[in-house]
Amino acid sequence: MQKQRIGILGGTFDPPHNAHLILAQHAYEQLELDTVLFVPAGIPPHKATTRTTVEDRLAMLGSVLEDNPQFEVSRVDIDRPGPHYTIDTVRILQEQNPESELFFIMGGDVFRDLPNWERPQEMFATAKLAVAVMRRPGVDGHDLRPDMHKQIIPGLQDHTIMLTSPLIEFSSTEIVERLINGKSVRYMVPQPVLEYIAEHHLYQDK
């Protein structure tokens, strides 16, 4: 029986936006995944707080994933106390899906920062986790390589897959700044998220 292939896409999703969905869709297709798990953070260890509540972020994320059977929300970092380090998240997901192949999906900027994560060497020691990195033509250049961290995280290059995606260049921070300043984010976030933000008066001040 063929193992199920599961992608893991973590983030605060505060708010979720179209770049998140594009990244997930391209990874789904290029890695031939069965499912992409969107894993919203509780309170990330590098942040004192999030802009909105867990309930708001879950509601916004759920509203844009409900019509796609290949995309699911995982509460693995919501239903446990913090701090929420990625290595602990991955171990729980491995325990929940012992017969599956897991692929941690990230952008090139996140891949560059891997040595600064909590216990990155341990994360890949068992070789049960592959890293799928979105490399954008003309943006990441030649400095983004599977072996760029080989001195710090031995063996990582053997489990790194470089993907290509026309990833849109904007972030949740930029979206929030536009909302605060009264600018449109109509083509940056899905319509259900726009409606939720307006209905609940989110991101109105700094």
Give the CATH number of the domain where residue 155 resides: 3.40.50.620
What pLDDT, on a 0 to 100 scale, did the predictor assign at position 191? 96
* Domain presence at residue 179: no
CA 189 to chain centre: 16
Range of the domain at 136: 5-171
- Calpha distance 101→3 (Å, rounded): 6
* Domain presence at residue 185: no
* Domain presence at residue 124: yes
User: For the whole model, what pTM was predicted?
Assistant: 0.90
* Domain presence at residue 190: no
Contact present, 167 and 19 (Cβ < 8 Å)? yes
- Calpha distance 196→123 (Å, rounded): 36
Instruction: Name the nearest CA neighbour of 39 among 82, 71, 77.
Output: 77
Render each residue's pLDDT in the chain as its tens digit; 206 residues: 678 999 999 999 999 999 999 999 999 999 999 999 999 988 655 555 678 999 999 999 999 999 999 999 999 999 888 777 888 899 999 999 999 999 999 988 888 899 998 888 887 776 578 999 987 655 555 578 899 998 999 889 999 999 887 757 788 899 999 999 999 999 999 999 999 999 999 998 75
CA 136 to chain centre: 16
Contact present, 129 and 158 (Cβ < 8 Å)? no
Domain count along the chain: 1
* Domain presence at residue 198: no
* Domain presence at residue 39: yes
